[in-house]
Chain A
Amino acid sequence: MTTTASPPVASGSPGTGPVSTSGSDGVDVAGITASNSSLRRFLHGLPGVDQVGAEARAATLSTRSIKTTAKAWAIDLAISMIDLTTLEGQDTPGKVRALCAKALRPDPSDPTTPRVAAICVYPDMVPIAVEALRGSQVHVASVATAFPSGRASLDVKLADTRDAVAAGADEIDMVIDRGAFLSGRYLEVFDEIVAVKRACGSAHLKVILETGELVTYDNVRRASWLAMLAGGDFIKTSTGKIQPAATLPVTLVMLEAVRDWRTATGRQVGVKPAGGIKTTKDAVKILVLVNETVGDDWLDPDWFRLGASSLLNDLLMQRTKLTTGRYSGPDYFTLD
């Protein structure tokens, strides 16, 4: 199976793919989403996930020993995949500008360090980030749709989205309505994602499943498919506000979903684990998971992102260790 899909984000400019809610060939989106019960039948007809088996597989893969050149390669790839994030009530323009400076030059003492993929902020901070990153290849992502709870009317969510896009966001990270999902109102969740996708225009849509609230892996798989059916460009684990967030088994199940979706439709969808990824070891384990579950095609910032903040400095510390042979203290790496 080869993919004919183009990357969702063309380098340096927002993606320009048409808004489409239909997969090609294998998946009849219109038929599946004709009613809530047909959608439910489809989602509940997906193969189940055995919890013990999925966790065992993730644990086995996390014993891979990634050393020397492989580690160096993985660290640079991980840096280039980071959505450097600040999503706090206390965020200020100053904080966001500092973060943007860090995104452009993660390690000022080493110009060979790759830049990160994007900055991820609340909608009102988007203009600041756009200004600070102008002319660079770092994207601006904004959370939207009443992040993180998603507890607002559709109109408010759409206004939130349009606001972020109008301010220049290249990527929108929306949250799904977990309440609707857990009470079986799948079509409502679907329609909402479709509406947000439309409101995104040319901006790319990441759909946050908030897997910590969905709890079971069966739910994670169903929500992944639901988001892909609705046209999401990326599926993302978590807001970072709920624990557990991006666990390895959850990431594994979502990777299996995008793999199977591409096999069925030919369309490639990206994955973004976010929340709780703090160390280089965490990041390398995730990249191993990507490598051995979906392969090279996803080992690219266009198709895989890491939502994180403190991770970056640990990666830089390990990077410096690999090049100099010595660990330096945290004071040698910049705060953001």
Chain B
Amino acid sequence: MAVADMGSKKFDYAPAPESRAIVDIRPSYGLFIGGQWVDPTDGHAFKTISPSSEEVLAEVSEAGPGDVDRAVKAARKAYDTVWSKLPARERGKYLFRIARILQERARELAVLESLDNGKPIRESRDVDVPLVAAWFFHYAGWADKLDHAGFGTSPKPLGVAGQVIPWNFPLLMLAWKIAPALACGNTVVLKPAETTPLTALLFAEICQQADLPPGVVNIVTGAGDTGRALVEHPGIDKVAFTGSTEVGKMIARSTAGTGKKVTLELGGKAANIVFDDAPVDQAVEGIVNGIFFNQGHVCCAGSRLLVQESAFDEVLESLKRRLSTLRLGDPLDKNTDIGAINSLEQLTRIRELSEVGESEGAARWTVACELPDKGFWFPPTVFTGVSQAHRIAREEIFGPVLSVLTFRTPQEAVEKANNTPYGLSAGVWTDKGSRILWMADKLRAGVVWANTFNRFDPTSPFGGYKESGYGREGGRHGLEAYLDV
């Protein structure tokens, strides 16, 4: 029986945990090659943990070069014998079927994603998984319309794609890679990140459930060495990578001269630009959504806030007030806004760069909140007094840390926003429509959001300038990466 304690004047939300009973996590997983679960040849394995509790979730196989070779051969065989011979309409049917199963099993996928990644269930349930299904639906529709995509008549697939994805949006990045690849007629070998392999392995089950021909999708788990073996394998025709700029450069070097088509979606240090005529309350929401969404583990995160000097006090005060209402804690609690940092390694990096920020003279402000005893946590943090010369204004922190800078004129905002080796995204907040268009024209970033931030849609292309990588994912543009054009 629930009893109201009306003596309390505070509205304390009771715990509202999503049940994890819906997910059946196996104690150990093999590799998904040629439609089968197989053991790795040299028998290596690693553990994947829940970053919010450090609880071991499962043991996962580590694919060696021999396993990667098997996977590439399985993908090649599936490409040669089945997938490239199927009418486009039939490929589309498989993708529609996968999309529907993703929707049917949405809750299961969301819970597993939150367990393995540490992100709040509200986010995996309301953002990640719906987008994953949307991505498959979108590209399912493209499968038999490639003639009309603007890449000539009967554009051909590339063959076998080797895909390496990061840990921040494990399932969504899988969808961004696999959906267009299959729609265009390629087969894939995908390596999920070593800290978040579980939803990719559940996706393998979904491929089986959808009766996808064996070998069209292969999932090899492992760390950097597995990724390198995949990317450098001579049997693949295409490399798609999302991750750090450092690894992206290594991939660019190792694939140079091989004839492999490469798309890279790398880091970012996006400017979120707030003018003094912005709708302040919504801009503050956009700032929060820009940098604290997914614990700041977002390559296009609005990690640099550029505020017009005349609005600085008002925006900062509103931002701090808003941050104090964020709820940090158990990712499976339906009321959690901020979950766990994905790994100890990442937490260490966030801590280091935050200390650098302080030692370089920026003022650090942190939400007063209790952090759980176990797991990896970092409270939402704001640095003010940051200049372009600070490392925290230049380097990607990939955590819930916001650097606040100021500007005086639109020209200065553009100069500062573009003054970065990256160029993935940017945000503009103003009530003046003409200024939005002028800014979008001047900002060197793949995505410019106007009066919103971190919004994704399968019809919209996404990708970077400069050290943020090359190639576009999403929409019609995203097809080009998987077609021989």
1/0 contact string of A302-329 vs chain B (CB within 8 Å): 0000000000000000000011010000
CA distance A286 to B128 in the complex (A): 27
Question: Do A53 and B279 have beta carbons less than 8 Å apart?
Answer: yes
We find that the number of chain B residues with CB closer than 8 angstroms to chain A is: 31
Task: Knowing A54-B281, A65-B335, A325-B1, say if A70 contacts B451 (CB, 8 Å).
Answer: no
Asked whether B122 lies within 8 Å of A73 as measured between CB atoms, the reply is no
Q: Which stretch, A44-52, A187-195, A197-205, touches the partner chain B?
A: A44-52
Q: How far is the CB of A51 from chain B (nearest CB, A)?
A: 9
Q: Are A76 and B4 in contact (CB under 8 A)?
A: yes
Q: Max chain A CB contacts within 10 Å: which of B11, B122, B325, B335? A: B11
Complex interface bits, A134-162 against B, C-beta within 8 A gives 1, otherwise 0: 00000000000000000000000000000
List the B side residues contacting A291 at CB < 8 Å. 11
Chain A CB within 10 A, most for which of B2, B6, B8, B335: B2
Q: Which A residues are CB-close (under 8 A) to B11?
A: 70, 73-74, 77, 287-288, 291, 296, 299
Answer yes or no: A41 CB below 8 A from chain B CBs.
Answer: no
Residue picked from A48, A50, A256, most chain B C-beta under 10 Å: A50
| Residues of the B chain whose Cβ atoms lie less than 8 Å from the Cβ of A48 | 277-279, 431
Within 8 A of A (CB), among B279-304: 279-283, 285-286
Interface residues of B in 255-281 (CB under 8 A from A): 277-281
Which residues of A lie under 8 Å from residue B122 when comparing CB positions?
63
Task: Tell whether A64 is near chain B: CB-to-CB under 8 Å.
Answer: yes
Instruction: List residues of B (164-199) whose CB comes within 8 Å of A's CBs.
Output: none
Q: Which of B12-20, B52-60, B95-103, B345-353 contacts A (4 or more CB under 8 A)?
A: B12-20
Any chain A CB within 8 A of the CB of B10?
yes
**Chain A: CB-nearest residue to B282:** A53
Contact A73 B1 (CB under 8 A): no
Q: What residues of chain B lie closer than 8 Å to A114, measured between beta carbons? A: 6
Q: Which of A63, A64, A72 contacts B3 (CB 8 A)?
A: A72
Cβ-neighbour of B2 out of A63, A65, A68 (below 8 A): A68
Whether B334 contacts A72 by the Cβ 8 Å rule is: no
Docked-complex contact A65 and B16, CB < 8 angstroms: yes
Q: Which of B4-57 contact A (CB under 8 A)?
A: 4-6, 8-14, 16
**Known contacts A65-B334, A70-B11, A296-B10; A49 and B16 CB within 8 A of each other:** no
Q: Among the listed B6, B14, B335, B452, which residue makes an inter-chain contact with A76, where contact means beta carbons less than 8 Å apart?
A: B6
| CB atoms of A69 and B286 under 8 A apart | no
A76 CB contacts on chain B under 8 angstroms: 4, 6
- Which residues of chain B are within 8 angstroms of A67 by Cβ–Cβ distance? 14, 16
CB proximity of B293 to chain A, nearest CB, Å: 11
Given contacts A47-B278, A53-B451, A299-B9, contact A69 B3 (CB under 8 A): yes
Give Cα A85–Cα B334 distance, bound, in whole angstroms: 34
Q: Could you write out 7 A-B pairs with CB less than 8 Å apart?
A: A47-B280, A53-B452, A63-B122, A63-B126, A69-B4, A69-B14, A325-B1
Given contact pairs A72-B4, A322-B1, enumerate 18 new A-B contacts (beta carbons under 8 Å). A47-B280, A48-B279, A50-B283, A53-B281, A53-B452, A68-B2, A68-B14, A69-B5, A69-B12, A70-B12, A70-B13, A73-B6, A73-B12, A74-B11, A114-B6, A296-B9, A296-B11, A300-B9
